[in-house]
Structure 1
Amino acid sequence: MRKKPIVVDYLYKNSLDQTIELWLPIPEGLDPSTLKPSQLHRLPTGENLGYFILHKNDTLHLRYTQEWYPAKGETIPLSKEEEAYYLRDTVLSPVNEETLDLARNITSGLNSKRDQAKAIFRYIVTNFKYKYPPKSRGVKSFLRFKNGDCAEFSFLFSSLCRSLGIPTRTLFGSWSFGKMNGHAWNEIYLEDEGWIAVDVSMANLRKHNILRFLYSDLRTMWWEKYFGKTEGQRVVFSRDSEIRLMPAYGASQNRSIAIEPLQINDSAFYWGQESLEGTAPYLQPAYVKLDTQNLLPGTCLDVKNLLGFWKVKETGWRGFLAQSKKYLAIIGLTTMGITYIYGNGYLEFVFKFSFVALFTCFVLRRERVFLFSVFLVIMTLSLLSTISELL
C-alpha cells in the first residue's frame, strides 16, 4: 500500500523592504495553527484559505507529505451551491453562447455526460497544440491562437464542459519530482462516479510528441487513458482557478515595470499587483500582494517574489530508484565515452553494467516498461558477452 510517498517543501521569504500579503490554501492534513495565518477562510472547494502578513525577512515554510493523487474521488452528491460553483462563468473559463455552441457541435448526438466530456477531451487533444509560454491566458486567447500550455488546455475543457452542465474544476499543483515543476489538469463530476481526473494537455503531448518524456521520472500512459485516469505522480495545491481572495484584495494605485505583465485574453494583468475581479487567477500554490508604490529604485522581482519556491520528491524505494537513475546515467555515459577512446574491457563492463542497472530502474518504476525492457534485454546480452571475454 502506497502511503504518503511524496514530500512537498514550500518556502516563501519576504526579501523586499516592505510588508507582503499572501494567500495560500492550507494543504490537507496540515494543522493551520502551526502556520499561524492572520485569517482562515473556508472555500467553496472545501479547502481552507490562509491569509498571511509577512514583514521584511519573514519566512513561510511548509514541509508536508501527500499520498499519490487519486484519479477518482468520493461519490458524495454535490449540493446545489457546489454544483453552481463548478458551473460558474469566469474570466479564464467563460460559459457563454460561443462556448455553448462549440460544445454542442462537438457532442452532437451524445446524451450521457461522460460521453460528452470524453468527446470534448478528444476534440481539444486533436485540434490544439501545446506551447509554453502561451501568448495570452484564457479561453478567448486559446481559441484564437490554437495553442497554449497545460492551464489553457484545462481552462477550455472546464469552459466547454460547464457549458453543457457538467460540473468541472481546474486543478493546480505540481509533478512529484523536481523544483517549480507546476502542472494543471481537470476533474469532472459524474453522478455515478464522483470526481474523476482528466488531463487534456498530457494526452495532447502523448499523442503528438511521444518522445517528450522518454527519460522522465513520470509514468506516462497511452493518451486516451488520461480521461478518467492519471499516473498518480502529482500533488494538488488548489482545486480550481479564480478562487476569491479573503480578506478582499485591495486595489493598487499603479503598476510597477519591475514585473512584466501577464496577458489574459490579450489584456495586461499584473501578477501580485492586482486581482482578477477579486480572485487569484490561480493559486500555485500562493498569491501575493506587493506594495509596488514603495519598491526601492532598481528592485528586480523574480518568480520567487511572486510564487515562492517549491520542490517535490518521491520517497521510499521509488525515490531511491529515481535518484539512482541520475547517478547511473552519469557513470554509464562517462565510462562509455572513455571506453570508446581507450578500448578498456573493464571500463566496458562498468558502462554496460551501469546501463543494465539504469534500465532496470525504469522498469521497476514502470516508466515506458516495454521500451526499457527491450533495452534491458539487449544490454544484458551485451554485458554477458563482455563478461565472457574478460574471463
Structure 2
Amino acid sequence: MNQLKRRHLMQAVAAGVGASLVPGLALAQTQTPAAGGERRFAPQPGAWRRFEMSLEVSVADHQGLTKLWLPLPDIETDYQRSLDHSWTGNASVSRIVSDPARGVRMLYAEFPESLKTPTLSLVSRVQTQSRAVDWSRPGRVSEDPAVLRANLAATELVPVDGIVLKTALEATQGARTDVEKAQAIYRWVIAKAHREPKTRGCGTGDVRTMLETGNLAGKCADLNAIFVGLCRAVGVPARDVYGLRLAPSAFGYRELGASSANLKSAQHCRAEVFLKAYGWVAMDPADVLKVMRQETPEWIKDPAHPLVAPVNKGLFGAWEGNWVAYNSGHDLRLPGSAAKTTLPFLMYPQGENRSGRFDELAPDSFKYTISAKEI
C-alpha cells in the first residue's frame, strides 16, 4: 500500500461568518418572504466534518498497456483540508502526478498488457466545512496576481471575447463594482439558462456554443461555466471548482445532497469569484437551476418560489460542506497519456489503453464505484 500523509497548519478562519446579501444589492425575488413561508437554506462555517472517500476501478477492456488517472481531493482552503490518500491494486506503476501546466494532482497507475483485469482502489480522507461570506464586513483582500490573471484568461471552451464579452456586457449593464457585476451575472444565468436532466454527465462547459446557439441548457459544468466565462469577460476573476457531493443536505433539499451509498453520479461543479473586498466567494447558480427543475415533479420557473428563494439567496456567497473539491483546472493534459487533446476538466476517473481513451460515462466498459462515509 502506498500512502501520502499531509500535516495541516491552517486554522478555520471563517467561523461565525454571516450569509446576508450585500447591502443595497439584495436580489429582488428575495426581498420579501413568499406567500406560504419559505424553506430554509443558510450554510454557515462551523464544525469541520471528516469523510473517508473510496473509489474503486475495474477495467473490463484490457487491450494492451492500461493507464488510469483518478482525481484527488487534494486542495487546502478555509473550507477543505486533505488528510491523506492511500491506494491498493495490481498496478505495476502507481504514483501521484500533476498536470504540467495547471498543477492539478491526480493518482496515476499503469497495468501491463498481460494483466486481464486491472483494478485500483483509492481511499482519501478529507475534512470539509460550509462556507459563507459576511457581506457586512468588506475589507481589502490580497491574492497572487498570477492567480488572478489565470482566472481572467480564456480557456478552450470558455473564451472571453466575441459573443461571451457581448453577452457579459449586456448582462452587467449599469453595474459598476465587481460585486454588482457578479450579482448581475448570477441573476442573468438563473433567468436565461436552465438545467437539462438528459445532458450526459455534468456537461462539457462549451460556453461559446451555448451562447451562439442560444441553447443555454445543460448541467453544472455547463451552467456554472457560463457564469465563470461572463465574469472573466468583464474583468472579474472567476473559476469553476470540480468536485463530488458526499452526503445529504442538512436543509432537506434532495437535489443539493447525495447518498453516501453510491456516489457514482454525484459529481458536481461549483464556482467562485474573486471580489476585491471579500476574496474568493462561493457561487453556484447551477444548483439554483437544479432545484428549480428537479426538486419537485413540477418544473419551477420562478426563482421567487418559496422552495427556491432561500437557495437562490444562499448560493450567492455560500455553499454547504457536504461536498468535496478536487481541483479548478481547465484544459488539462494527463501525464503519460497518448491522447493529443486536452480534457476540459478532471472530475471523473480517466483511462486509456490500445483501444483509446475510455468513456468515463460508459459503465459497461469502464467500471468504477464511489462511496463515502463520515468518520
Segment drifting more, 77-86 vs 132-141: 132-141
For 1:225, which of 314, 326, 346 is the aligned residue? Answer: 314
Specify which of 347, 351, 358 is matched with residue 284 of structure 1: 347
Distance 1:239 1:293, change over 3 A: closer
| RCO higher in structure (CA 8 A, sep ≥6) | 2
Q: What do residues 159-190 of structure 1 show as CA deviations (whole Å, max 9, x unaligned)? A: 11111122211122221133211211211122
Instruction: Give 1:246 deviation, angstroms.
Output: 2.7
1:102 is matched with which residue?
167
**1:237 and 2:307 are equivalent in the alignment:** no
One of 152, 164, 186 as aligned partner of 1:121: 186
**Which residue among 128, 142, 152 is the counterpart of 2:210?**
142
SS of the residue corresponding to residue 318 of structure 2 reads coil
User: Do 1:99 and 1:159's aligned partners in 2 also have CA atoms closer than 8 Å?
Assistant: yes
Instruction: Give the equivalent residue in structure 1 for 2:275.
Output: 190
**Which 5+ residue runs of structure 2 have no aligned equivalent?**
1-45, 75-81, 134-139, 247-257, 299-307
Establish whether residue 52 from structure 1 lines up as the match of residue 109 from structure 2.
yes
* Higher normalized strand content (fraction of residues): 2
Tell me the residue number matched to 2:338.
250
With structure 2 as the length reference, what TM-score do the two structures score?
Answer: 0.64
1:44–1:85 CA contact under 8 A, matched in 2: no
More helix per residue: 1
Please name the residue that 1:311 is paired with.
Answer: 371
Deviating 4+ runs (over 4 angstroms): 30-36, 42-47, 207-210, 304-307
**Sequence identity percentage:** 22
SS in 2 for 1:303: coil
1:206–1:33 Cα change, 3 Å:
closer
Cα distance in 2 for residues equivalent to 1:153 and 1:207: 13
Q: Find the aligned partners of 2:146 and 2:218 in 1 and give their Cα distance.
A: 31
Structure 1 residues 46, 70: CA separation in 2 closer, same or farther (over 3 Å shift)? farther
User: Secondary structure in 2 aligned to 1:40?
Assistant: strand
Cα distance in structure 2, aligned partners of 1:288 and 1:209? 31
CA contact 1:12–1:304 (8 Å) conserved in 2? no
Q: Structure 1, residues 16-69: CA drift from partner, whole Å, max 9, x if none? A: 323222233433335568677346236666643343213433322122232235
* Larger gyration radius, structure 1 or structure 2: 1
C-alpha displacement of 1:197: 1.4
Conserved 8 A contact 1:139-1:155: yes
The within-5 A match list for 1:366-381 is none
> How many angstroms apart in 2 are the aligned matches of 1:220 and 1:286?
35
SS at match of 1:222: helix
* Partner Cα separation in structure 1 for residue 73 and residue 195 of structure 2: 29
Q: Which amino acid aligns with 1:169?
A: R
1:1-391 equivalences in 2 (<5 Å): 2-18=47-63, 19-28=65-74, 29=82, 31=84, 37-38=94-95, 40-41=97-98, 47-55=104-112, 56=115, 57-71=117-131, 77-134=142-199, 137=204, 138-143=206-211, 144=213, 145-176=215-246, 177-178=258-259, 179=262, 180=264, 181-207=266-292, 211=296, 221-247=310-336, 249-251=337-339, 275=341, 279-292=342-355, 302-303=362-363, 305-306=365-366, 308-313=368-373, 315=374
Measure how far apart 1:15 and its partner are. 2.9
Q: Which of 184-193 and 45-54 deviates more?
A: 45-54
The answer on whether the counterparts of 1:27 and 1:237 sit within 8 Å (CA) in structure 2 is yes
Alpha-carbon distance between aligned partners in 2 of 1:155 and 1:173, rounded to the nearest angstrom: 14
Kept in 2, the 8 Å contact 1:186–1:199? The answer is yes
Which one-letter code corresponds to 1:235 in the other structure? V
Looking at structure 2, the residues matched to 37 and 220 of structure 1 have their Cα atoms a distance apart, in angstroms, of: 47
Alpha carbons of structure 1 residues 17 and 50: separation in structure 2 relative to 1, 3 Å: closer
The farther-off stretch of 197-206 and 10-19 is 10-19
Q: Please state whether the residue corresponding to 2:184 is helix, strand or coil.
A: helix
Distance 2:274 2:348 in 1: 23
Question: Which amino acid in the other structure matches residue 110 of structure 1?
Answer: A
**Shift in CA distance, 86/43, structure 1 to aligned 2, threshold 3 Å:** farther
Secondary structure of 1:103 counterpart: helix
Q: Which amino acid aligns with 1:172?
A: Y
Change (3 A) 1:21 1:221: farther
Distance 1:9 1:33, change over 3 A: closer
CA separation of 1:303/1:172 partners in 2, compared to 1, >3 Å: closer, same or farther? farther
TM-score norm. by structure 1 comes to: 0.62
Is the Cα contact below 8 Å between 2:224 and 2:270 reproduced in 1?
yes
Give the equivalent residue in structure 1 for 2:43: none
Q: 1:9 is paired with a residue of what secondary structure? A: strand
